[in-house]
Every structure is written in C-alpha cells, then in structure tokens.
C-alpha cells in the first residue's frame, strides 16, 4: 500500500487525491463521521478515524457497527481491506493528509452554541499540525466559525493558512435511514478560507460524492447549512400552527394538506407532528439567532418557529387529557403507551426526540407511561430529561394495548402493527396521520 505523501502545494495535493495516495482522517465517528469514513474507503482512500470513546474504537476495529443503519458487513470489509482503522490517540492526527471534523455542536443550558467539542478538536490538531495538511470542518455552526475560531488556533504555532496548510468548511448533509440518498449521492457544498484551500477541499470531496458545489467562502458554506435546516424548522412550525388552528375549527389538517399537495406548483408539503427532533432541526436554527443577537439583530421567524415547535408536546398531551376527560377519566392515574421513541420514522436515532418530552410531561401530570419502539429496545439516558426513569420497549400485544388507557403515536414506524393497535386500544392519539379520518377511537393531534 503506498505511503501518504505530504502535499505542499494545491497541485501536489490534488495529484495525490487522484492517485489515492491521500490518507483521510475523520474526527468523530458518529452518525456523520462513520458514513463519511466508509464513503472514502469505498472510493479507494485509506481512512484513520478518531474518537474519544475507547469502547467505540474497539468495536469499529473489530468490524462492528454501533449505528443500526450502517451495515457491519460493509464496515468489516473496510477493516479487512486495511483501508479503515479507528484510534483514540490524538498524537496520530499528524498522519492523515486531510482531517475532517465531524464532532457535535449542541446547545448549552442557556440555549446558546456549545462549540467546546470543536474547540477541543482544534487544539488537538494544532498540537501536531504539519505542513501540507487540509483541515475541513463539517459540524453545523454559525457563519464565521471556521475563520474566527478554527483558523487562529491552527495558526497559533506560526503556520499560515493557504501557505502551510489548507482550511475549509463543508456542511454535512446526512439523513439517517433515507433509502434514496447516501453520503456519496448527496451534492457537497464546499467553501475555503482562501482559493488554495477551496481547490484542494473541492478535489477531495469531488473524488467521493456525486458532485460538489463550490461557494465563495466558508461563511457562505456555513450559512447554507443553517438555511437548509431553518427552512425545514419554519415550515414544520407553520404546519404545526395550522394544525392547532384547524383543529379548533373542526378541520382535519392532513386532509387539508392532501388537497393542497395536488397543486403542481407553488406548494411544498410539510407534515405536522408532536414536535421537532433529531440533532439538526431543534438545534441549528438557534446558532443563527445567537449570531444575529451578536450583531444587534432579532430573527423573529426563527424564534417564533422555535416557540411553536417546542410547545407541540404540551398541546398533544392537552388533547389527550381532554379526550380522556370526555369519557370520565383523568390523565392523573391513567396508563399511557407511547408508540415510537425515535425522532423519525424507521430509524433507531432518539436524539432530541419529542417522545422524551411527552413521556416526561405525561409522568409529571400523574400518569404511568411506557413506550414501544421496534428500533430502540432500551431508552438511552437523555441530558435534557434527567427525571425520566430507566425504560425499555414493551412488546406490542393485545394484552399490552388493552391494559393502557390511551396509546399516543409519536413516531409512525412502518414495523408497527397499526391494525392490532386499532383493534385493541381504548383510545389512540394520532400525531402523525397514520389512520384515516373517522377511524373509530382515534383522535388526531
């Protein structure tokens, strides 16, 4: 296997990419980093993956995937070929020619950007950065992060961006569980701090994805990612608000959307739900609102969308409580079964799922609550809901359904037997439009 060769100029770096002499380092081997690593190995590159979790590293080096939608067979093949290795040793960051940062960018307790993982990663890279390396940030963040946070740290030891090393931003666009689009088939936006950085970053991604979209700066690339997710967040909030209004009018929002979606132009359908979830939509918009505040601006649409989406779990539970009251029962003391713990259909990803807020709120109101999710056998401990007890998925059966006062559909997994649910549940609160209008014992929420 050829050794990786330091590339001191853009043309050298591009030539090394074309000849597959470039070794790629992926920092953070989660839902973004691991698929990206396997995409590079599939294209003939050697990949050194970095993660701080020793157990995760050991499992990966054994060819065992811990992400359900990523096949262990594919990972095992990459390991056996010698093109993939995982490590927890930061001193090895000097080995790869390209370092791609895929670490979390959550919000802190004050709902402000927490870039501690990016900062720690930048410090680790700076300690061993060598001439000719390319550093790319993929983590979602506010415009200016690459230039204002990463660049100064990487230049602290005297090397200069665009001369001694290259620096770029390329936002991740992963959609876990999407059968139509994988990492290699999704166009990649790429922005460099300088023309040389842009050239080598675009060449690197161009070797493994269907197409690249070059933009003029890292700030534009950073803003493009926020714009994609803010667009979704605002439209999800819009249909959720319409659901509330139409519900008060006695109009079914899903029937309205079915009708509106027949228009062949000027309308893009979004569906309502019990709230928002996943690592992107509930978090990313607030990176821009924070940055706007630093500039003395107010991002009203984004903030209102956040208020609407954050309030949906309580609205759903209010509907449940009101429906129980109509039959002479109180939520306090009732047994509620939540169907679906994941944040989206047919995935095992529970990050920021509204199901956790619904479970917590149902319990706060005095009900006994459990869940069924065919993809998540044990509920993980969630930082935002520390009061939740340890929970495991309950096997779905007629006896289970009949033993609960209500079933609340939070995630519409395809593997759930909804006919069984409808036959045996006393009350179904459907937040996903699973059942047709007028289905017996089903209310839409």
Condensed to tens digits (0 to 9), the pLDDT of residues 394-434 reads 999 999 999 999 999 999 999 999 999 999 999 999 999 99
Residues with catalytic function: 280
Scored b (16 or more CB within 10 A) or e, 394-433 reads: bebeeebbeebbbbbbbbbbeebebeebbebbbbbbbbbb
Asked if pLDDT for residue 205 goes beyond 70, the answer is yes
In degrees, rounded to 5, the angle at the alpha carbon of residue 232 between the alpha carbons of residues 231 and 237 is: 105
> What would the mean pLDDT of 220-237 be, rounded to a whole number?
97
Asked if pLDDT for residue 5 goes beyond 60, the answer is no
Q: Is 188 helix (H, G, I), strand (E, B) or coil?
A: strand
Q: For residues 282 and 272, what is the distance between their CA atoms, to the nearest angstrom?
A: 15
Strands 166-169 and 188-192: antiparallel
Percentage of residues in the chain with pLDDT exceeding 70?
98
Q: Is 100 helix (H, G, I), strand (E, B) or coil?
A: strand
For residue 24, the cross-strand partners are 47, 98
Asked if pLDDT for residue 6 goes beyond 80, the answer is no
Write down the mean pLDDT value for the chain. Answer: 94
| pLDDT per residue as tens digits for the range 24-81 | 999 999 999 999 999 999 999 999 999 999 999 999 999 999 988 888 999 999 999 9
The pLDDT score that the predictor gives to residue 398 is 97
The pLDDT score that the predictor gives to residue 110 is 86
The pLDDT score that the predictor gives to residue 3 is 47
Helix pair angle (253-260, 218-249), 10° resolution: 120
- For residue 238, give the nearest of 269, 262, 217 by alpha carbon: 269
Domains in the chain, CATH or no CATH each: 10-215 (3.40.50.720), 232-444 (3.40.50.720)
Q: Which of 8-12, 17-21, 198-202, 252-256 has the lowest average pLDDT?
A: 8-12
* pLDDT, greater one: 8 or 366: 366
Q: For residues 261 and 270, what is the distance between their CA atoms, to the nearest angstrom?
A: 10
Q: For residues 406 and 171, what is the distance between their CA atoms, to the nearest angstrom?
A: 42
CB-neighbour burial class of residue 20 (10 A; exposed 0-12, middle 13-18, buried 19+): middle
Q: For residues 218 and 135, what is the distance between their CA atoms, to the nearest angstrom?
A: 12
The pLDDT score that the predictor gives to residue 2 is 41
Helix pair angle (33-42, 72-80), 10° resolution: 50
How many CB atoms are located within 10 Å of the residue 297 CB?
Answer: 11
What string of DSSP letters covers 240-280?
Answer: HHHHHHHHHHT--HHHHHHHHTT-SSS-------SS--SSS
> What would the mean pLDDT of 282-289 be, rounded to a whole number?
93
| pLDDT per residue as tens digits for the range 384-399 | 888 899 999 999 999 9
The pLDDT score that the predictor gives to residue 1 is 37
The pLDDT score that the predictor gives to residue 178 is 82
pLDDT band with cut points at 50, 70 and 90 for residue 8: low
């Amino acid at each position: 296997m050829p050794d990786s060769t330091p590339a001191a100029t853009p043309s050298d770096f591009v030539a090394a990419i074309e000849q597959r002499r470039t070794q790629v380092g992926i920092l953070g081997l989660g839902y973004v980093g691991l698929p990206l690593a396997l995409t590079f190995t599939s294209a003939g590159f050697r990949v050194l993956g970095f993660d701080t979790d020793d157990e995760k590293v050991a499992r990966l080096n054994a060819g065992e995937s811990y992400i359900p939608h990523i096949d262990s067979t594919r990972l095992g093949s990459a390991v056996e070929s010698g093109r993939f290795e995982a490590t927890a040793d930061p001193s090895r960051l000097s080995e790869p020619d390209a370092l791609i940062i895929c670490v979390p960018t959550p919000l802190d307790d004050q709902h402000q950007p927490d870039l501690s993982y990016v900062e720690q990663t930048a410090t680790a890279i700076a300690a061993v950065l060598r001439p000719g390396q390319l550093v790319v940030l993929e983590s979602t963040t506010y415009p200016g992060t690459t230039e204002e946070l990463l660049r100064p740290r990487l230049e602290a030891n005297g090397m200069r961006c665009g001369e001694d090393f290259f620096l770029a931003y390329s936002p991740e666009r992963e959609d876990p569980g999407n059968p139509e689009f994988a990492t290699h088939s999704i166009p990649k936006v790429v922005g460099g701090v300088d023309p040389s950085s842009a050239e080598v970053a675009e060449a690197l991604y161009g070797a493994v994805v269907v197409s690249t979209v070059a933009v003029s700066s890292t700030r534009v690339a950073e803003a493009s990612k926020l714009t994609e997710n803010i667009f979704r967040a605002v439209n999800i909030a819009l249909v959720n608000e319409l659901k509330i209004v139409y519900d008060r009018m006695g109009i079914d929002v899903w029937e309205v959307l079915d009708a509106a979606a027949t228009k062949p132009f000027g309308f893009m359908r979004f569906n309502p739900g019990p709230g928002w979830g996943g690592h992107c939509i509930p978090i990313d918009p607030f990176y821009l609102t924070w940055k706007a505040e630093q500039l003395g601006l107010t991002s009203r649409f984004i903030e209102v969308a956040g208020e609407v989406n954050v309030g949906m779990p309580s609205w759903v539970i209010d509907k449940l409580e009101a429906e129980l009251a109509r039959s002479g029962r109180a939520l306090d003391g009732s047994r509620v079964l939540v169907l679906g713990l994941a944040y989206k259909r047919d995935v095992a990803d529970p990050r920021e799922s509204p199901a956790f807020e619904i479970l917590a709120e149902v319990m706060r109101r005095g009900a006994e609550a459990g869940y069924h999710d065919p993809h998540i056998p044990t509920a993980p401990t969630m930082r935002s809901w520390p009061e939740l007890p340890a929970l495991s998925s309950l096997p779905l059966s007629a006896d289970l359904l009949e033993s609960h006062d209500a079933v609340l559909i939070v995630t519409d997994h395809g593997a759930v037997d909804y006919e069984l649910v409808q036959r045996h549940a006393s009350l179904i609160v459907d937040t996903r439009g699973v059942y047709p209008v007028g289905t017996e014992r089903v209310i839409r929420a």
